[in-house]
Amino acid sequence: MNTKIAIQNLNAYYGKEQALKGIEAQIPAGGITVIVGPSGCGKSTLLRCLNRLLEETNGVRVTGQVLLDGEDIYARKADVTEVRTRVGLLAPKPFPLPMSIYDNVSYGRRIHGLEKLERRNGRSLDRKVEQYLRAAGLWDEVKDRLHDPASGLSTGQQQRLCLARALAVEPEVLLCDEPTSALDPISAQRIEEQLKLLSAETTVVIVSHSLRQARRLADHIIFLWMGNLVESGPSAQMFSAPRDERTRAYLYGDIG
């Protein structure tokens, strides 16, 4: 397995409460890794450790290592802005910026200086906006109203716009925290389809409360229980022959 992220003895604390307990796991490069487990087991906490967003919460402390291509993102010399550019996030609910559809997608490229690089190389920002709206499966629906406010889009369209915005800075890893939980079934299906397509070139990590979704999407599974990693592995093996009894009980609906 070609490892993109290696998690070593990772612990997370909210004040005195320990939410993650010595997590050891590897996330393969490419494909989709789905983090599953019952509510409150630490899924979203683990996800937000992978691009250091968790430390934005007051009273949080993280120890251990998260190695991105072998480099510890928690090392003192690590550039947090660079980490969050390389490891993007799609939140559970869409939060389009209060600007146009076009400006939502181009925003990240502008603040990271990628627009100037394109101009020097004779490339157009317009082409990049189209590229990532297409990658999010939204281009055909918005191409004639790119300069309209993003707030005028439906909830499902807004989530796909947020996906395009996350992709526009060209992350190596895309974290998705229950990305379809606020969507109707048709919009959720569209997001799932786009994530599956993206996973051919981008490492996608999804937190999901839905085992059906995990079965549809996962190439690799990480199972958490009360802040502990119980087991992880290829999805086919995890669903057909889990090694731990707690995993079997959760995957077959006996607990959780």
- Sign of the torsion formed by the C-alpha atoms of 47, 49, 51 and 56: positive
Question: What is the per-residue pLDDT for 121?
Answer: 52
Question: What is the per-residue pLDDT for 108?
Answer: 84
Question: What is the per-residue pLDDT for 255?
Answer: 80
Structural domains for the chain: 3-95+171-251 (3.40.50.300)
Grouping H, G, I as helix, E, B as strand and the rest as coil, residue 207 is: strand
Question: What is the per-residue pLDDT for 111?
Answer: 81
**What residues in the chain have per-residue pLDDT under 50?**
122
Q: pLDDT by residue (tens digit) across 3-22?
A: 999 999 999 999 999 999 99
Number of H helices, E strands in the chain: 11, 10
Q: How many CA atoms lie within 13 A of 65 on its CB side?
A: 12
Q: Return the residue matching tokens 């599974």.
A: 221
pTM: 0.93
Grouping H, G, I as helix, E, B as strand and the rest as coil, residue 206 is: strand
